[in-house]
Amino acid sequence: MATHTHHDTGGSNAGDLADLERIACELAVQAGRLIVDERPRGLGVAATKSSDTDVVTVMDQRSEAFLHERLAELRPHDGLLGEEGAEQRGTSGITWVVDPIDGTVNYLYEIPAYAVSIAACIGEVPGGAWSTVAGAVYNPITGELFHARSGGGAFLRRGDHEESLSISTERELARSLTGTGFGYDAEWRGEQGAVVARLLPKVRDIRRIGSAALDLCFVGAGRLDVYYESGLNPWDQAAGQLVAIEAGGVVQGRGDDAPGKDLVVAGPAGLVADLKDVLQM
Ligand code: IPD
Ligand code: CA
Q: What is the pLDDT of residues 131-152, one digit of tens each?
A: 999 999 999 999 999 999 999 9
CA distance 170 to 74: 41
CA distance 78 to 89: 7
Question: What's the pLDDT at 13?
Answer: 75
Where are the strands (E) in 124-216, listed by range?
A: 130-139, 144-149, 154-158, 161-164, 177-179, 205-207
Question: What's the pLDDT at 12?
Answer: 67
Pocket test for ligand 1, best of 35, 219, 232 (most atoms within 8 A of CB): 232
Give, as residue ranges, everything with CB less than 5 Å from ion ligand 2. 99, 102, 236
* Dihedral pair phi/psi, residue 221, rounded to 5°: -85, 0
Q: Is 114 in the pocket of ligand 1 (CB under 6 A)?
A: no
Helix axes 234-246, 212-221, angle to 10 degrees: 0
Q: Using CA positions, which residue lies closest to atom 13 of ligand 1?
A: 183
Is the separation of the CB atoms in 155 and 162 below 8 Å?
yes
Pick the atom of ligand 1 nearest to 215's CA.
10
pTM over 0.85: yes
Q: Is 225 in the pocket of ligand 1 (CB under 6 A)?
A: no
Q: Is 154 in the pocket of ligand 1 (CB under 6 A)?
A: no
Q: Is 232 in the pocket of ligand 1 (CB under 6 A)?
A: yes
Instruction: Provide the 10 A C-beta neighbour count for residue 117.
Output: 33
- pLDDT at residue 14 greater than cutoff 90: no
The angle formed by the CA atoms of residues 192, 187 and 173, to the nearest 5 degrees, is 0
Q: In what order do the strands lie in the sheet with 226-229?
A: 205-207, 177-179, 226-229, 264-267, 250-252
- Residue 263 φ/ψ region, left for φ over 0, alpha for ψ in the -120 to 50 degree band, beta for the rest: beta
| pLDDT tens digits for range 144-195 | 999 999 999 999 999 999 999 999 999 999 999 999 999 988 889 999 999 9
- pLDDT at residue 77 greater than cutoff 90: yes
Q: Using CA positions, which residue lies closest to atom 11 of ligand 1?
A: 181
- pLDDT at residue 240 greater than cutoff 80: yes
Q: Is 218 in the pocket of ligand 1 (CB under 6 A)?
A: no
